[in-house]
Amino acid sequence: MHRGRAMTFSQTHLLGIENLHPVEITTLLDRANAYAEAERGSREHGQPLKGLTQINMFFEASTRTQASFEIAGKRLGADVMNMAMAASSLKKGETLIDTALTLNAMHPDLLVVRHPHSGAVKLLADKVNCAVLNAGDGKHEHPTQALLDALTIRRAKGRLHRLVIAICGDIAHSRVARSNIHLLGKMENRVRLIGPPTLIPAGAADWGVEVYGDMAEGLKDADVVMMLRLQKERMDGAFIPSEREYFHRFGLNAEKLSFAKPDAIVMHPGPMNRGVEIDGNIADDINRSVIQEQVEMGVAVRMAAMALLAENLRARRAA
């Protein structure tokens, strides 16, 4: 039985989408969907994380993602502990690896890590013997966000392939965009990136995506419009002339949305800057916006990711 599982989801950690096989993605989404349905119907879903310790280590401030991981862990029976690392040992000069080794000595089972440096979560994962989940590393990856986006799309569109998906805005500073590009590409969708050239990363045209500098062109016939937050905190200089010019050219409003398919859905990973990248009326339009559903699916996807990793962890320990 464990062998069957290992074939459909064989990861030790969830560090990014880049190393996942499409079958693993589907396995995870199926499991997450079952959790989402169970939650909605107040049905039992068991407690596969009972007896396991989950530590959330956030080296970068977060409210939403941390809460989502915490709720996901608790619903599945894990003992969850939050560590606000930004205020902790790093200030005392401890290196990331020492922090990892210290925590490892406490024998956690699941480690959820967010860090401001790209690659830092992998560095940490190499030093511990529990399952590590990347909750966002620098500008690199944010795998659970891409998975929850995928589940939201699949539920709204009935499929996760052969869709035209436009990712708009601040691609350069976005780990969400990178994980989504990997995932949507692996599932054989057409991915478009739309944004001002200062916010499109160098070499993006070689990623197997189409790059547009104009919303009207880029949104034409799109099935999904994914808006990104303008990450002012990650910018080290002028990338756009002003927020009002940005909103005028790249902010999503009813007029720009009309270029997409009539049934196109609107997504946003949050937190939103209303009036900067998205018009408040669009964000609140229950016929188009699936932003609240994304948050709901976030919990389900994190439950599924931790449950699958825990199964593999138990199988490894039993072996």
Our answer to whether residue 65 is catalytic in this structure is yes
Contact (Cβ atoms closer than 8 angstroms) between residue 64 and residue 270: yes
Q: Which is nearer to other proteins, 90 or 106 (CB)?
A: 90
User: What is the pattern of x (binds other proteins, CB under 8 A) and - over residues 72-111?
Assistant: -----------------------xxx--------------
Pick one of 26, 118, 129, 253: the residue that binds other proteins (CB under 8 A): 118
The alpha carbons of the chain give a radius of gyration, in whole angstroms, of 19
Cα diameter, the chain: 59
Q: Does 206 bind other proteins (CB under 8 A)?
A: yes
Which amino acid is residue 26, in one-letter code? T
Q: Token pair of 120, please? A: 């830092």
Q: In what order do the strands lie in the sheet with 79-84?
A: 79-84, 53-58, 110-115, 131-137
Q: Which stretch binds other proteins (CB under 8 A): 37-45, 135-143, 187-195, 268-276?
A: 135-143
Q: Does 119 bind other proteins (CB under 8 A)?
A: yes
Name the nearest CA neighbour of 281 among 252, 245, 246. Answer: 252
Residue 88: CB minimum distance to other proteins, A: 17
Contact (Cβ atoms closer than 8 angstroms) between residue 86 and residue 59: yes
Our answer to whether residue 2 is catalytic in this structure is no
Pick one of 1, 202, 286, 319: the residue that binds other proteins (CB under 8 A): 202
Residue 243: CB minimum distance to other proteins, A: 24
Strands 190-194 and 164-168, bridge-based pairing? parallel
Beta bridge partners of 227: 168
Buried b (16+ CB within 10 A) or exposed e, 136-158: bbbbbbbbbbbbbbbbbbbbbbe
Measure CA of the first residue to CA of the last residue in the chain; give whole Å: 14
Name the nearest CA neighbour of 177 among 238, 268, 86, 252. Answer: 268
> Sign of torsion, CA 249 152 84 16?
negative
Q: Which is nearer to other proteins, 231 or 289 (CB)?
A: 231
Pick one of 31, 75, 114, 122: the residue that binds other proteins (CB under 8 A): 122
Using CB under 8 A, count the residues that bind other proteins.
Answer: 26
Q: Which stretch binds other proteins (CB under 8 A): 74-82, 116-124, 241-249, 287-295?
A: 116-124
Q: Which stretch binds other proteins (CB under 8 A): 21-29, 134-142, 157-165, 190-198?
A: 134-142
What is the distance between the alpha carbons of residues 51 and 46, in angstroms, rounded to a whole number? 13
Residue 286: CB minimum distance to other proteins, A: 34
Beta bridge partners of 167: 193, 226
Which amino acid is residue 125, in one-letter code? A
Q: Which stretch binds other proteins (CB under 8 A): 148-156, 204-212, 250-258, 268-276?
A: 204-212
Residues 162-181 interacting with other proteins (rule: CB under 8 A): 172, 175, 178
Q: Does 22 bind other proteins (CB under 8 A)?
A: no
Residue 273: CB minimum distance to other proteins, A: 21
Our answer to whether residue 114 is catalytic in this structure is yes
Pick one of 158, 236, 242, 318: the residue that binds other proteins (CB under 8 A): 236
Site residues (vs other proteins, CB under 8 A): 18, 95-97, 115, 117-120, 122-123, 137-141, 172, 175, 178, 201-204, 206-207, 236
Active site members: 64-65, 92, 114, 142
